[in-house]
Amino acid sequence: MKVVITAITEVFGLFVEDGSLAIGILVWLAVAAFVFPLIAGSDTWRAPVLFVGLVALLVENVLRSARRHLRK
Protein backbone atom coordinates (compact mmCIF):
# COMPACT_ATOMS: atom_id res chain seq x y z
CA MET A 1 0.00 0.00 0.00
CA LYS A 2 2.84 2.34 0.95
CA VAL A 3 4.49 1.67 -2.41
CA VAL A 4 1.27 2.53 -4.27
CA ILE A 5 0.83 5.79 -2.31
CA THR A 6 4.47 6.71 -2.95
CA ALA A 7 4.06 5.98 -6.66
CA ILE A 8 0.88 8.08 -6.90
CA THR A 9 2.54 10.95 -5.00
CA GLU A 10 5.55 10.84 -7.30
CA VAL A 11 3.43 10.83 -10.47
CA PHE A 12 1.33 13.70 -9.09
CA GLY A 13 4.56 15.55 -8.28
CA LEU A 14 5.62 15.26 -11.92
CA PHE A 15 2.84 17.66 -12.87
CA VAL A 16 2.21 19.69 -9.73
CA GLU A 17 5.10 21.32 -7.90
CA ASP A 18 3.58 24.67 -7.03
CA GLY A 19 -0.16 24.26 -6.56
CA SER A 20 -1.04 27.85 -7.43
CA LEU A 21 0.81 27.64 -10.77
CA ALA A 22 -0.89 24.35 -11.68
CA ILE A 23 -4.34 25.71 -10.78
CA GLY A 24 -3.62 28.94 -12.66
CA ILE A 25 -2.65 27.00 -15.79
CA LEU A 26 -5.77 24.81 -15.63
CA VAL A 27 -8.09 27.79 -15.04
CA TRP A 28 -6.55 29.75 -17.94
CA LEU A 29 -6.84 26.72 -20.25
CA ALA A 30 -10.49 26.32 -19.22
CA VAL A 31 -11.08 30.01 -20.01
CA ALA A 32 -9.41 29.50 -23.41
CA ALA A 33 -11.50 26.42 -24.13
CA PHE A 34 -14.91 27.69 -22.99
CA VAL A 35 -14.83 31.50 -22.95
CA PHE A 36 -12.71 32.40 -25.99
CA PRO A 37 -15.18 30.77 -28.45
CA LEU A 38 -18.01 32.92 -27.01
CA ILE A 39 -16.25 36.14 -28.02
CA ALA A 40 -17.43 37.20 -31.45
CA GLY A 41 -15.26 38.45 -34.29
CA SER A 42 -12.06 37.20 -35.85
CA ASP A 43 -10.42 34.25 -34.08
CA THR A 44 -6.80 35.06 -34.95
CA TRP A 45 -6.15 36.51 -31.47
CA ARG A 46 -7.02 33.33 -29.57
CA ALA A 47 -3.72 31.44 -29.89
CA PRO A 48 -1.45 34.45 -29.10
CA VAL A 49 -3.64 35.41 -26.11
CA LEU A 50 -3.50 31.81 -24.84
CA PHE A 51 0.30 32.04 -24.93
CA VAL A 52 0.51 35.50 -23.35
CA GLY A 53 -1.72 34.38 -20.47
CA LEU A 54 0.52 31.39 -19.73
CA VAL A 55 3.68 33.50 -19.81
CA ALA A 56 2.01 36.02 -17.47
CA LEU A 57 1.11 33.19 -15.07
CA LEU A 58 4.69 31.94 -15.06
CA VAL A 59 6.20 35.38 -14.49
CA GLU A 60 3.72 36.25 -11.74
CA ASN A 61 4.29 32.94 -9.98
CA VAL A 62 8.08 33.21 -10.11
CA LEU A 63 8.06 36.83 -8.89
CA ARG A 64 5.68 35.97 -6.04
CA SER A 65 7.80 32.98 -4.97
CA ALA A 66 11.00 35.04 -5.14
CA ARG A 67 9.52 37.96 -3.16
CA ARG A 68 8.19 35.58 -0.52
CA HIS A 69 11.68 34.14 -0.18
CA LEU A 70 13.38 37.57 -0.14
CA ARG A 71 11.09 38.87 2.61
CA LYS A 72 12.21 36.04 4.94
Partner 1 sequence: MVEFVEALTIVLAVGTVRGWRPALIGTACGVGFLTLLVLGFGPALQKIPITTLQLVVGVLLLLFGMRWPRKAILRSAGIIGLHDEEAIYAREKKELEAHGKVREKVDWIAIATTFKAVTLEGLEVVFIVIATGAVGRMLIPASIGAAAAGVVVIGLGVALHKPLARVPENTLKYAVGVLLSSFGVFWVGEGLKFRWPGEDLSLLGLAGGFLVCSVLTGSMIRAESKKLAEVRA
**Binding interface with partner 1 (CB under 8 A):** 10-11, 14-18, 21-22, 25-26, 29, 32-33, 36, 43-44, 46-48, 50-51, 54-55, 57-59, 61-63, 65-67, 69-70
Q: Of the two residues 14 and 40, which places its CB atom closer to partner 1 in the complex?
A: 14
Closest of 24, 14, 34 to residue 54, by C-alpha: 24
Q: Of the two residues 1 and 67, which places its CB atom closer to partner 1 in the complex?
A: 67
**DSSP states of 29-64:** HHHHHHTGGGS-S-STTHHHHHHHHHHHHHHHHHHH
